A and B are shown apart, each in its own frame.
Chain A
């Protein structure tokens, strides 16, 4: 069950160009939080920007009651959130959405592009703690844009890096690392968790399908209520049943075989 809670910003700093890491004290919000869920965030009382911003949970600590958010500054909402100083308040709806499937097999491949790393780091920690061997594939346009590498390594996952310009790791898209990672794990004992831009997720979807590996993708869409009421944030399905499913309430995590991934 989700709640409406008030959080206090403890820290808000730029960890890469135009990427902020915010630590929020919000004990009520994190108690039932699962990796892959998100919060629908509002930071002001006035009417412009009008809508909340959906942000994945990047980290949480139930004991201290803190929630970590990692977000890229892209528009006027995130620009305003960039300026929030310690002591500011956030209005949080959540935790919302389904989150990633739990750790059930011996291996998992997590693949993230850019800010898509945000919902995967908690999953890496949860999986590693459950004894799953996690291969984390992380991509960015250039070395300076790589995010959360220390957080990923701290989970115990093995980390492979790709940069579009070749300044670190594999020279090219992170999806170039996926076939090798799949080949290196026992078939039937692994699945892929992915988050990133549309073209990347479509490539991950196709590679996983060809390899016969289960794949789960975390999607984003322009969102209204966040609670499943307004039907604003749908994704088209590719299987029998309802033509559209709600990213906020049925997702944001979907079985990659069931959805048509578009660029947002």
Chain B
């Protein structure tokens, strides 16, 4: 049967999947950070000025000085310094139910780390709240080894 005029004129649609499977070299400093995650530890690096950067960086963003290799263990607990609520997570986001993206300053760190906080309800979120990491059951040496942070009991 020939299509009706309306069917014939309806615009076509198609699913368009765009994906770039980037693989990124991380260098010796972040390489150490990710290797630590594989063993369920979190490390930062102490700058010459004495600040602890987490995640560790090869250079002090304030002075441009190389940071060397003074790695320090931080956390696992930390404090939320800022957050935003994600009420409709997208498929590749760390949690598939509503959660917060938060800046978490781990104990012993001077800079905050961006990660998800599984608070279940927005009303439980507040700046200054204490959180701890929830580790993925099988770690692989990547940021997702921390499945998310969760409120300390």
> Real complex partners, A and B?
no
Residues of A within 8 A of B (CB): none
